[in-house]
Structure formats: C-alpha cells, structure tokens
Amino acid sequence: MQEYPASTSIRRVALANGAVLLAYENPASPSVVVAGSLAAGSQFERDEPAGLAHITAQGLMSAAADHDFDALHGRLEGIGADLQFSAGSHTVSFFGKALAEDLPILADALAAVLREPRFPEQEIANLRDEVLTSLHFYAQDTSWRAEEAFNRLLYPAQHPYHREVIGTLASVAQINPAHLRRFHERVYGPAELVIAVVGAVETERAIHTLRSCLDDWQPLVQERDIVPPVPVPPLASLRKERIAIPGKTQTDLVLGVAGPSRFADDYLPASLANSVLGQFGMMGRIGESVRERHGFSYYAYSRMDGGYDRGAWCVLAGVEPQWEEASLDLIRHEIDSLRSRGITAEDLADNQAYFKGRLPLQLETNDGIAATLLTMECFGLGLDYLLEYGGHIDRIRRDDVVAAMEKYWPEDEYALALAGPEPPYHENQ
C-alpha cells in the first residue's frame, strides 16, 4: 500500500559536476518517467532576440551527437517513448516517458540532446516557422491575448515575466542556428540540472543509468550569468487594457496581482486563500458566484503561479461579452470580501482537508511523483517534505489567510486585461 516518497525511499545523488539525480521506484506500472529542469530560461537571454530560450529548448530535439533528426525521433518513437522540452522564464523543463525496459535508450537520448545538440539549419528553419505559425494563431486566441496583456500590465519591462517566453513575430524571425549554438554553449550546463527518475526501475539501477550518461558532462567554461531579481513595484492603481479581436464570440478576462514566490513564508496561507477564492468545490467562491449563481460564464476560477519569483495570482474567466461588467463586479466583490471578512472556520477546515487529502491522488502516477520530487528539490523543501506537509497545513490560521490577502491584494490595485469581440455586443452573437 502507498507510502509517501521520503528520504528513506528516494535515492538522491549529487554528481561532481553539480547535477542532482533523484530516483524513486514505483512498480505499479511497467513504465518509467524521466523529468527534470535546468536553469536555461528566457531570463538568460542577453541582447538576443526574444524567444531564443524557447527555440533553443525546442531545437534540442532537432539532432544531437551522431543522431540526426530521423534517427533521434525514430529511435524514441519506435519504442513508444517520448521526450519533450519547454522553456519558461527561469528554467527549461523536460519530460520523458518509456517502458521501464527502455530507460537506457531514453536516458541516452536525453543526455545527447542536452550535451551535444547540433541545431541543423533546415530543422531550425522549420522550427522557427512553426513558432511563427503558432504566434499568428495566438494572436487570435482570446485567452492567450488577455494573459499576455495582463503580464505586460503587471510586471515592469525589465522583469522576465513582462514578456512572453515564446517571443514575438519580429524577434523570432531573426533567430538563426548560430544564436542557438551560442545560447546553448553559454547557458546549458550540469551545475543546475535536476533529474527525477520514477517508475518500475530499481533506484540504484536508475541512478547508474543516468549517471553513466551525465557524469563526464563538464561544467560551463565561462561563469554563467547572474540574473539579479527584478523587484515588482506596487501597482498603486488599476491598470487596464482591452483587446478587440474581430469574429470572436466570447471575452476572456484576467484580473490579478503579483503573488508570492514558492520561497515566500506565506506561500501556503496564500495558496489556501486562493483555493477558497477560486478553486475549492466548483471553482471556489468565484465559480459559485459567476458561473453557478449567475450563469455568466462556463469557467471562472483563480490561479496562483508561485515559482521562483512572484508569479501571477489572478482570476481568469471566459464571459459572455454583454456580462463583462457584471462578472467583474462579482469577481471584485469576492476578492474584497475575502480580504475584509476573511474565511470561516469551516472554510479553513475544508481547505486544510483538501490540501492534505489530495496527496494520494497526486502521487498515484509516475508523472505525479516525478513532479513532486522536482518541486521538493528545486525549492529546497527537503526529501521528507511530504511527511511534514500535513503539519505545515494544520498550522495555517484564519488570520494568516487574511494577512496574505491584505498583503497581495491591496484594494483597487490590480491589473485587468480583456480580449474578445469588438463592442457593441448583442444578446445572440
């Protein structure tokens, strides 16, 4: 029967080059997951075209070492395995999956693309065109446009969250393989690499397989860039932007503030406040009001990103255009109410039970366990965090929740972005 992963069951090895390997055996399924991250996100772009970190991460799978594109993908897909990379502002994340018997092939491919990507001209040209096509599509996507505008309003121009990791049509068009090679050479290294291996593989064998592929990866020749954190100044007032997209039938809105980072002392109380606001039950108080009671939208919920820096804490909703203002009034009312009146003892008990109770489901699959191990390692929570977690949750008090709301949601200071059809709106559009 399930026992939570802990220091007694997780094998953690720090290699001499700085890479950290975590392994956990889960015999429940004949598959294995290899997931991880390394510090190679968009914040490491210097005076280079925006979107370079994104294309570099995607381009890793174009060719590596002695494997060209066909050999690399044919080898993985031929065994039903998968390996994907994606860049964020801080890190590049990867996720691989295979049958347990094929871990050596997956590990070998991962090491090859991380260490010796080739970025061939033709494949990178195709990849660049794929990204440009995606950007054309996103320009018509109401939720993407609203969130992009929201981030611009919320974060100062120097902050990595101000701009989209994928870049812009103008910046991506400039990117060529030489950019990728220089970025890889300068940023990709083992020092801040973390990998979790979870599945039907004995931990020592999993560690040995990964170690043999990565042990001799030499640290970067030059000192990596130090990216000082950029403070997020108070908004001081409402900042609002509306984007009209012809032909759309509904408006997406994002309303919010900069929330706590995952390192903040009040991260858990703020998470609990977020759950009450727009998660618990049928999307918390926001969902209950905007969707269930008034029928203004199909989805209305809140999200708190956390992470390495002060990620967004926001409410997102897709609303009928004629009910935009009414929906916003309801959302603001729920936020104000949570800040001024706090939560009930029942709210607290419900959400504490929810936070603790969801662990068994979260840890049921290899994917879920791997994601949890990475969070524990990357945010310094310790290998026994899951054993201590219940205590952390039980110590949250109602006052802590109000304090988090007062700190992060000052009255009338938020960013609001809307993207949808052009006014005037009609009942039956």
Partner 1 sequence: MSALRRHVLANGMTILLKEVWHAPICSWWMLYRVGSRDETAGMTGAAHWVEHMMFRGTERFPMGRMDGAIDRLGGIWNAQTAQDYTAYYSTLPVAHVQLALEAEADRMRNLMFLAEDVEAERRIILAERRSAANDPLFALDERMNHCAFTKHGYRHEILGNEEDLQRMDREPLWRFYRQHYVPENVIGVAVGAFESERMLAMIAQHFDAEQYAGITSASAPLPAKRLPVEPAQSSERRFNVEWDGENEFLEMAYRVPSATHEDWYALSVLASLLAGPSGPGSGNVDNRSCRLYEALVKTGRAVAIDGNLSPRCDPYLYHLTITLQHGRDLAEVEGIALAEIERMRAGEIRDDELSRAKKQTRALFAYSSEGVTGQGFWLSFAENLAGYEWFERYVQRIDAVSGEQVQRVARQYFRPEQRIIGWLRARA
Instruction: Report the site for partner 1 in 140-169 (rule: CB under 8 A).
Output: 140-142
* 356 contacts partner 1 (rule: CB under 8 A): yes
Instruction: Report the site for partner 1 in 57-76 (rule: CB under 8 A).
Output: 69-70, 73-74, 76
Classify burial at 18, counting beta carbons within 10 Å of its beta carbon; exposed 0-12, middle 13-18, buried 19 or more: middle
Contacts 24+ apart (CB under 8 A), 152-158: 152/241, 153/239, 153/240, 153/241, 153/415, 153/416, 153/417, 154/232, 154/235, 154/239, 154/256, 154/257, 154/258, 154/312, 154/415, 155/230, 155/232, 155/258, 156/230, 156/231, 156/232, 156/233, 158/230
Please report how close the Cβ of residue 24 comes to partner 1 at its closest, in angstroms. Answer: 13
User: In angstroms, rounded to a whole number, what is the distance separating the alpha carbons of residues 273 and 278?
Assistant: 9
* 363 contacts partner 1 (rule: CB under 8 A): yes
User: In angstroms, rounded to a whole number, what is the distance separating the alpha carbons of residues 146 and 72?
Assistant: 37
* 176 contacts partner 1 (rule: CB under 8 A): no
For partner 1, give the closer residue by CB, 159 or 248: 248
Distances in Å between the alpha carbon of 62 and those of 36, 146, 155?
19, 32, 34
User: In angstroms, rounded to a whole number, what is the distance separating the alpha carbons of residues 142 and 402?
Assistant: 32
Taking CB under 8 A as the binding criterion, the range among 111-119, 127-135, 258-266, 373-381 that sits at the site for partner 1 is: 127-135
* 31 contacts partner 1 (rule: CB under 8 A): yes
User: In angstroms, rounded to a whole number, what is the distance separating the alpha carbons of residues 315 and 399?
Assistant: 22
For partner 1, give the closer residue by CB, 58 or 89: 58
Going 306 to 158 to 144 to 410, the CA torsion angle's sign is positive
* 350 contacts partner 1 (rule: CB under 8 A): yes
Please report how close the Cβ of residue 80 comes to partner 1 at its closest, in angstroms. Answer: 2
Please report how close the Cβ of residue 413 comes to partner 1 at its closest, in angstroms. Answer: 29
Reference 193, options 113, 106, 78; nearest CA is: 113
For partner 1, give the closer residue by CB, 97 or 184: 97
When binding is defined by CB under 8 A, the residue of 289, 302, 366, 372 that contacts partner 1 is 366
Instruction: Report the site for partner 1 in 307-326 (rule: CB under 8 A).
Output: 318-320
Reference 147, options 158, 161, 167, 131; nearest CA is: 161
* 125 contacts partner 1 (rule: CB under 8 A): yes
- Under a CB-based contact definition with an 8 Å cutoff, are residues 81 and 105 in contact? yes
When binding is defined by CB under 8 A, the residue of 54, 97, 184, 285 that contacts partner 1 is 97
* 133 contacts partner 1 (rule: CB under 8 A): yes
Instruction: Report the site for partner 1 in 184-223 (rule: CB under 8 A).
Output: none
Please report how close the Cβ of residue 363 comes to partner 1 at its closest, in angstroms. Answer: 7
Instruction: Report the site for partner 1 in 279-308 (rule: CB under 8 A).
Output: 280-282, 288, 291-299
Q: What residues does 20 pair with on adjacent strands?
A: 14, 194
x/- string (CB under 8 A) for partner 1, residues 370-399? ------------------------------
- Cβ contacts of 423 within 8 Å, gap of 6 or more: 244, 321
* 78 contacts partner 1 (rule: CB under 8 A): yes
* 136 contacts partner 1 (rule: CB under 8 A): yes
For partner 1, give the closer residue by CB, 30 or 219: 30
Please report how close the Cβ of residue 205 comes to partner 1 at its closest, in angstroms. Answer: 18
- Cβ contacts of 280 within 8 Å, gap of 6 or more: 350, 351, 354
* Binding residues for partner 1, total number by CB under 8 A: 76
* 425 contacts partner 1 (rule: CB under 8 A): no
Please report how close the Cβ of residue 194 comes to partner 1 at its closest, in angstroms. Answer: 23
Which residue in the block uniquely carries the two structure tokens 């660049």?
Answer: 128
Please report how close the Cβ of residue 145 comes to partner 1 at its closest, in angstroms. Answer: 11
User: In angstroms, rounded to a whole number, what is the distance separating the alpha carbons of residues 358 and 216?
Assistant: 40
Please report how close the Cβ of residue 114 comes to partner 1 at its closest, in angstroms. Answer: 17
* 249 contacts partner 1 (rule: CB under 8 A): yes
